[in-house]
Chains A and B, each alone.
Chain A
Amino acid sequence: MSKKKENELKTRGVSNAKWGYLFILPFFVAYTLCTLIPQLMTFYNSLFMNYRDGLTQVGPKFVGLENYIKLFSPDNTGTIGILKYFGNTIILWLMGAVPQIIVALLLAVFFTSYRLNIKGQQFFKTVIYMPNLIMASAFSMLFFVLFSPVGPVNQVLLASGWINKAVDFLNIKISVRVLISLMNFLMWFGNTTILLMAGIQGIDQTLFEAAQIDGANSWQIFSRVTLPLLSPILVYTVITAMIGGIQMFDVPQILTKGIGMPNRTSMTMVMYLNNYLTTSKNYGMAGAVSVVLFIVSAVLSLIVYNSLSAQYRKPKRHRKY
């Protein structure tokens, strides 16, 4: 590039700054209006008593941290609601995510293995990714009708003589949890497989060849080469799955009609938040629950942010100007 042209570009760059601001303006205006201000309002609300009791509106009245104290004190049965629902969310997430990540890792290794040379990959990928795009609430409704006491699953079990009375799967703690995790597993393992496959394909192939020549077996190659080199992407996948897990709502909400049956053992954090927003319009308590959710997701986000920006700091292969 000639000196003259470079100078010309520079001056143009300065006069063009306004275009940069103009182009990013809509994003920031929309973000401020739709997320930032509501976010601050949510924090602010958590310090007020503000709810509807039947037809009467109570508050808003400033109460300081009272909502938080209420949130973390035991109810008349001695359970601390938010801890129970946080626990439920983690259990439901783990039950779905652990098999999801193991299966996805396994499939990603299968699909990328030259030695195995799996045929029909496109077909398998198409099938396993499909549940990811299906409406979660409709998928959950489908599970509900299939597993209801008069549904086809019970019909088959009764007809085969394995049971002599219909099983109410939706009123047994363990079966509700298994159904929710099964749905989450089905919805996400395909997505994770595809992400991990891309990760494995990004690893320098000569490393695998070298390990093979040195006489490493498949397990050694997996544990000593694939896994360590895949770990940044694996961490990213696990953390984003956690952030998704915290938001778990549609599936348990529809399956259990919003009450987390039996006995609120499948009630998640966002279902709890939703309860405060719908029935009593209790903005104060809902605000406090949101702040707890925000803190948890902010900590997780920080980890993703660090891994992404570390990647961004890496020297770029080709700079444009």
Chain B
Amino acid sequence: MMNDEQSRKARIQLMITRVVVYAILIFLTFLCLFFFYMLIINSTRSNAELQAGFSALPHGHFIENFKNAWTDASINIPRGMLNSFIIASCCAVLTTYFSALTAYGIHIYDFKLKKPAFLFIMAVMMIPPQVSAVGFIQLMYKFKLTNNFLPLIVPSIAAPIVFFYMKQYMESVLPIEIVESARIDGASEFRTFNQIVLPVMKPAIAVQMIFSFVQSWNNYFIPALLLDKAEMKTVPIMIAQLRSADYSKFDMGKVYMFILLAILPVLIVYLLLSRFIIRGVTAGAVKG
């Protein structure tokens, strides 16, 4: 009797807890999705409809807004997306390749400066890039490298956080035997890395490629200080331009479309690969 009563109580308690937990989760889901839902809905409405009032349902002006935004005279969004794409792709490739190379160099070989090199990278890992911006900008002006993509691409060769991720990954998956057997087969050290090690590292490289692409695609601070020619601007700079323009004169349907276009590539990649990306968030982080 007593036991029945107790287990019934526990069951009810568990049920209530579950209801509360799901309510919290649904609220947070709503909070995360609501703003993007509004963005998509408003990108389907004309300026007049947007001025007239709020609506939670899509209208039929999506194509029209897209055409207006895509062919806008002052904000050349297709060019901006192309520029951002070029920079982000180069960063993704360079960052992952050289981080893996550096991690491999420190992981496999023995040399005098191995430990200091590793400790140095760990020490500078968390220093924000903004604190060296003054000197960097000055240097780029000196070398006439403003309005050039190189200063936005080359620094990605040295990415301490990606290096750390690669190092962690190598420690868990790269058996020295593979490297040994490649050496015995007479492969050069460099070929061993490119043809044997890189394929083993594929999952880590793919995940870091996505993260560094996204990071570069969204990057605003340094590009805004270096790119001022219209045809060199990247997407975030154009978004900022949109903000400083007199928005009341703007076709609001077009403004929503610009914002949607700015986040769409990343959104699509995320929806396709979310499972893989979420797993990647933790894989390189601190392991207990």
Contacts and interface: CB of A to CB of B under 8 A. Distances in A.
A19 B105 contact: yes
Most chain B Cβ neighbours within 10 Å, of A115, A133, A190, A286: A133
Interface string A273-294: 1100110000100110011011
B89 interface: no
A99 B225 CA distance: 33
B239 A311 contact: no
Interface in A1-53: 12-14, 16-17, 19-24, 26-28, 30-31, 33-35, 37-42, 44-45
A63 interface: no
A175 B262 CA distance: 26
A137 B239 contact: yes
Interface of B: 14, 17-18, 21-22, 24-25, 28-29, 31-33, 35-36, 38-39, 42, 50-51, 53-54, 98-99, 101-102, 104-106, 108-114, 117, 119, 121-139, 151, 154-155, 157-158, 163, 171, 174-176, 183, 189-190, 193, 214, 217-218, 220-221, 225, 235-236, 239-240, 242-244, 247-248, 252, 255-256, 259, 262-263, 266-267, 270, 274-275, 277-278, 281-282, 285-288
B199 to A, nearest CB: 17
Contacts of A16: 109-110, 189
A75 to B, nearest CB: 22
A106 B24 contact: yes
Contact of A142 (B123, B138, B259, B288): B259
A233 B125 CA distance: 17
Contacts of B104: 23
Chain A, interface size category, equals 35 or more
A211 interface: no
B53 A159 contact: yes
B134 A45 contact: yes
A221 interface: no
B122 A34 contact: no
Interface string A251-265: 001100110000000
Contacts, number: 307
A283 B134 contact: yes
22 contacts: A20-B110, A27-B157, A30-B157, A34-B157, A42-B132, A45-B134, A103-B28, A125-B278, A130-B274, A134-B218, A134-B263, A138-B239, A141-B255, A142-B259, A186-B31, A195-B282, A249-B221, A250-B221, A254-B243, A270-B130, A286-B134, A290-B131
Interface stretch (A76-84, A87-95, A143-151): A143-151
